[in-house]
Structure 1
Amino acid sequence: MKQYFIYIFLASSVLSSLNSCGKHSKEESAEKEQEHSEEGHSHGEANSNIVEFSKEQASKVQGFFVETVILGDFHSIVKTSGQITSSPGDEAVIVATCSGLVNISNPSLVEGMQVKQGQTLFSISGDHLGEDNVATRTLEARTRYEAAKTEYERAQTLMKEAIISATEFRQIKLNHEQAKLVYEATSKGVSGGRKIISAPMTGYVKDLLVQAGQYVELGQKLAVVCRNNKLILRADVSQRYLPQIQTLKTATFTTPYDGKTYELEQLKGRLLSFGKTTNKDAFYTPVNFEFVNPGGITEGSFVEVYLKSEILPDVTTIPVKAVMEDQGHYYVFVQHAEGEYEKREIQTGDSDGIRILVKQGIKAGEKIVVGGAYSVKLASQAGTNQETHQH
């Protein structure tokens, strides 16, 4: 009987041990499975920003290239608006040299048309006018001049014979010179009874201020011709940036019609002036630069201006076109290996329209996609959409 109870006790112990082992095995298995799941999840998160963009794909993108991030000097930037105007010494105002009816030589003459120096632009006539008749005035001036010339030649003979005094001779000579000047001025540019007015320089018509058949007075503006070789960049700066204006060095600007950004340093630009005083009615201070027009910059256009003041040494900057934006977040594609790029968010600062300051997110020595960054962005979006569909 005693032996029977011993067998029962041993059997119960074995069963209890087996149950305990099974329980621990299930718990260990569950723990391992959870760890594996967490590892898989974290691994998936770690690679969610990796974009595969093969060498073959890159070769099909025009201008694709990567750039190594380096430290360098940058400027503190004041971004504002401005306008391109012509340089005062680079334009000429054409005025009426007599009164009369104006005729435009080329009926197709319009603002913006190219003209050459000496090209006939206008003619002024006195047709159907009792007064201010060019032909009549020219004839009168010629008659007076010829009469004064004849009298002067006669006076020269009389002076030699001491028939007239020196005072009388000087007065006759003065009358002759005045009549000559009037006749030359009146007859200059006259052809066929019309006063011909030509372009004073090669350039383009900036302003056309009269219409054909219009009556004009002597000295009235007819047109403005501009060479467009030199231009003025005028930037209007808020008064809160007055301290920074004192340290202005140069500027860049972006034209709205083609999106190009120009550096004044490359256009032989120079700072002309900036406002030294303000008044209660002026909210902005003008800053003026002069530069050489490389061609393609339209006078009169409004532009975005990036004024450069004090230097910021040893900072991280990258090309603006390398930066992508998504719902207010800015990021770049960092190259890990050939064909593998990481989409990485960055914190940006000032921009001069060409390069942008990076405060956080990348460091010197890393390589980022500059040319073709948008193509990599499209590839990353395509990969995300495919993963979402498979899920």
Structure 2
Amino acid sequence: MCSLCAFLLGSCNGNSASKGHEHEHEQEEQNGEHKEEGAEKHSDEIILPKVKADAAGVEVQVIKPSSFCQVIKTSGQVMPAQGDEATVVATAAGIVSFRTLLTEGAKVSKGTSLLTISSKEIVDGDPINKARSSYQIAKQEYDRSKELLKSRIVSEREFNMVKENYENARLTFEAISKNHSANGQAVKSPISGFVNKILVKEGDYVSVGQQIASVTQNKKLFLRAELSEKHYSSLKTITSANFKTPYDEKVYGLKELNGRLVSFGKASDATSFYIPVTFEFDNKGEVIPGAFVEVYLLSSPKNNVLTVPRTALTDEGGLFFVYLQLDEEGYKKQEVKLGADDGIKVEILSGIKPGDRVVTKGAYQVKLASASSAIPAHSHEH
């Protein structure tokens, strides 16, 4: 009887120990699973120490819904504003000579000599000598007639005709001789500004009144956008525009340039399927008149739109990503779907939500950190 009790007691203890061991093993497996899940949870985290992020110029913005205009992307051209450009014409016939180096874009003041026109070697002769000779003859005739008028030898009518001839000869001579030198007739800039175009070259022959250059003050400029006929219904909703120049890839907003809508066409012409939309703006930057630009026409606003600056986006084979900041040193790569683009900001249709902290500057540096981020997840604690 005692032997049977001892056997049963041992059996129970054995089963209890076995169950206890199995329970411990199951607990270890569960703990292991939790550890693996935790590791997977942070396996895509990018670690960029704050010191390195600050040095790289990384900036973060909290995403909030805001108003965003509908955008019509097209092309256009920057042109000088009316009254902001002056045409330089030849004041004499002759051969062009540039006394100093004159290039397009050069800054000039009002009255600056741009070039000279020499008439010494042309068939008609030097006009200054002709004008001087005509003036001297007319003056002698005028002085003689004035004395004869006192003696009533010439009539009042005859004297007035001589006087008129003298005045015309005087004005012609003074106009020509005003900018004349030994080198020829100097052509001066009518306004202060920048040389926009030079239409002649050294040694060219020009006639009186021929256009030889243009000078622009570059203070006011026109932006002429070409709107496709298919967007005609949106024409009256257009309020402003952004544009990107081809020479520096910079995007300018007309609101920051004191821009305003000047006019828009009522219909396209026979040679084009586009309707012109014209804006005027202050040239506060380095915008070059005549440049062809990309234009983002801004029309009706939409509310509660999530947007990010274009600098927040990275392009990988046609897919776009942003980087979310998880904490002070942790970041995550996030794919996003894009909507409208106004050249400065881009509408985000999916991928982020209000309150997300998105890297708006230095996204490329975070991307480089992700390529070399072989740091184990347990080395960074939240």
For the Cα contact (< 8 Å) 1:77–1:351, is it kept in 2?
yes
Q: Residue 150 of structure 1 aligns to which amino acid in structure 2?
A: D
Change (3 A) 1:148 1:181: farther
2:85 is the alignment partner of 1:91: yes
Q: Residue 88 of structure 2 aligns to which amino acid in structure 1?
A: I
Report SS of the residue matched to 2:255. Answer: helix
After superposition, what is the alpha-carbon deviation per residue over 1:342-391, rounded to whole angstroms, capped at 9, x for unaligned?
222222211212111112222222221112221111112222x678xxxx
Q: TM-score, normalised by structure 1?
A: 0.81
For the Cα contact (< 8 Å) 1:253–1:304, is it kept in 2?
yes
Q: TM-score, normalised by structure 2?
A: 0.83
After superposition, what is the alpha-carbon deviation per residue over 1:310-341, rounded to whole angstroms, capped at 9, x for unaligned?
11122211211112222222222222222122
Q: Deviation of residue 81 (structure 1)? A: 2.0
In terms of mean alpha carbon deviation, does 307-316 or 225-234 score higher? 225-234
In terms of mean alpha carbon deviation, does 261-270 or 229-238 score higher? 229-238
Change (3 A) 1:327 1:212: closer
Q: Deviation of residue 97 (structure 1)? A: 1.0
2:309 is the alignment partner of 1:319: yes
* Alignment partners' CA distance in 2, 1:49 and 1:155: 110
Q: Which residue does the alignment assign to 1:269?
A: 259
Aligned ranges for residues 128-139 of structure 1 at < 5 Å? 128-139=121-132
Q: Which residue does the alignment assign to 2:146?
A: 153
* Alignment partners' CA distance in 2, 1:178 and 1:142: 8
Q: Which residue does the alignment assign to 1:338?
A: 328
Q: Residue 84 of structure 1 aligns to which amino acid in structure 2?
A: V
Q: Which residue does the alignment assign to 1:3?
A: none
* Alignment partners' CA distance in 1, 2:318 and 2:34: 31
1:104 aligned residue (98, 101, 111): 98
Q: Which residue does the alignment assign to 1:207?
A: 197
Report SS of the residue matched to 2:295. Answer: strand
Q: Deviation of residue 172 (structure 1)? A: 3.9
For the Cα contact (< 8 Å) 1:134–1:195, is it kept in 2?
no
2:284 aligned residue (287, 291, 294): 294
Q: Residue 136 of structure 1 aligns to which amino acid in structure 2?
A: N
In terms of mean alpha carbon deviation, does 170-179 or 253-262 score higher? 170-179
Q: Which residue does the alignment assign to 1:7?
A: none
For the Cα contact (< 8 Å) 1:50–1:341, is it kept in 2?
yes
Q: Residue 218 of structure 2 aligns to which amino acid in structure 1?
A: N
2:133 is the alignment partner of 1:140: yes
Q: Residue 88 of structure 1 aligns to which amino acid in structure 2?
A: Q
After superposition, what is the alpha-carbon deviation per residue over 1:273-306, rounded to whole angstroms, capped at 9, x for unaligned?
2221114531222222221112322233232211
Q: Deviation of residue 43 (structure 1)? A: 4.8
* Alignment partners' CA distance in 2, 1:193 and 1:340: 74
Q: Residue 105 of structure 1 aligns to which amino acid in structure 2?
A: R
Report SS of the residue matched to 2:132. Answer: helix
Report SS of the residue matched to 1:109. Answer: coil
Q: Deviation of residue 131 (structure 1)? A: 0.9
2:54 aligned residue (53, 59, 80): 59
Q: Residue 208 of structure 1 aligns to which amino acid in structure 2?
A: I
Q: Residue 324 of structure 1 aligns to which amino acid in structure 2?
A: T
* Alignment partners' CA distance in 1, 2:181 and 2:272: 52
After superposition, what is the alpha-carbon deviation per residue over 1:161-220, rounded to whole angstroms, capped at 9, x for unaligned?
6x6555445434433333333333333322237222111122222222222232211111
Report percent identity of matched pairs. Answer: 35
For the Cα contact (< 8 Å) 1:253–1:261, is it kept in 2?
yes
For the Cα contact (< 8 Å) 1:135–1:194, is it kept in 2?
no
Change (3 A) 1:102 1:258: closer
Q: Which residue does the alignment assign to 2:107?
A: 114
* Alignment partners' CA distance in 2, 1:191 and 1:145: 23
* Alignment partners' CA distance in 2, 1:256 and 1:44: 47
For the Cα contact (< 8 Å) 1:273–1:289, is it kept in 2?
yes
For the Cα contact (< 8 Å) 1:141–1:186, is it kept in 2?
no
Unmatched segments (≥5 aa) in structure 2: 1-10, 377-382
For the Cα contact (< 8 Å) 1:254–1:305, is it kept in 2?
yes
Aligned ranges for residues 200-239 of structure 1 at < 5 Å? 200-239=190-229
Q: Residue 76 of structure 1 aligns to which amino acid in structure 2?
A: Q
Q: Which residue does the alignment assign to 1:178?
A: 168
2:351 is the alignment partner of 1:353: no
Report SS of the residue matched to 2:86. Answer: strand
Change (3 A) 1:124 1:281: closer
Q: Which residue does the alignment assign to 1:192?
A: 182
Change (3 A) 1:280 1:190: closer
Unmatched segments (≥5 aa) in structure 1: 1-13
Change (3 A) 1:45 1:84: farther
* Alignment partners' CA distance in 2, 1:216 and 1:259: 39
Change (3 A) 1:173 1:136: closer
